[in-house]
Amino acid sequence: MSHRTALITGAAKRVGAAIARELHSAGLQVVIHYHHSTAEANALVAELNDKRPASAWLLQADLADSQALPELVDAAIDCNGRLDVLVNNASVFYPTPLEAIDDDNWSNMMNVNLRAPLLLARHAAAQLRSNRGCIINLTDIHGERPLSKHPLYSTSKAGLIMLTKALAKEMAPEVRVNAVSPGAVLWPEAMTEANQQEILSRIALDERGSPEDIARAVLFFVRDANYVTGQVLSVDGGRLLSQ
């Protein structure tokens, strides 16, 4: 694994940072993409390079800007001379009640959550094919069961699930494409304790997961799933079992 390089989008904090740490611990070189979280991104890269010098790099880009995406892929390749893994983790999440939806929040949600993973995969395809690499998309259980007052977010993640399967077919046999679908691993900042307990009551394992649970699933697809493509792994504690 030590010669392989992974680009992780939205990796400055939360789940993305956990994925970066997990892949780095497994021996990969990591390219940390961020948009606004400059301080967190710098701290993470410094942390990883302290553990293993010249093993982590930092790139900034707005994923809603389609013109920035080829440059992001090219810069990621330049960091270590190759690209083997693309982890599409970055995501936009906020409520869009039906009566409040407008062109701007439609474009913002779809451009970051769906268009960016597609275009990054397209721009990285030649490099990933050459290295027999892989793509892991971070979807969501709400791509299968819609979240109330979040129709745009739920639709964007449903599209990403289908994109995962479509890319797996288009990029085979050289590139494996899979997805990890998180359940409750981090609470939104504005969520009340009552809402948290209501969600926990519908989880078969009766507890919240962690970003590290998601990171270990990503590592599985990178390192251990050589004969798996086009699959979506729900890491949700059994949440989808609930009616």
- CA distance readout (Å), 59 to 7, 74, 129, 196, 231: 9, 11, 23, 34, 29
DSSP 3-state percent helix, strand, coil across the chain (nearest 5): 50, 15, 35
Whether residue 45 contacts residue 56, with contact meaning beta carbons closer than 8 Å, is answered with yes
What tokens were used for 75? 């810069």
Laid out side by side, the sheet with 5-8 consists of: 56-60, 29-34, 5-8, 85-88, 134-138, 176-182, 232-235
Strand partners, 58: 32
Q: What is the CA radius of gyration of the chain?
A: 17
Residue whose entry in the numeric block shows the structure tokens 């409520």:
95
Active site annotation includes 153: yes
The residues annotated with a catalytic role in the active site are 153
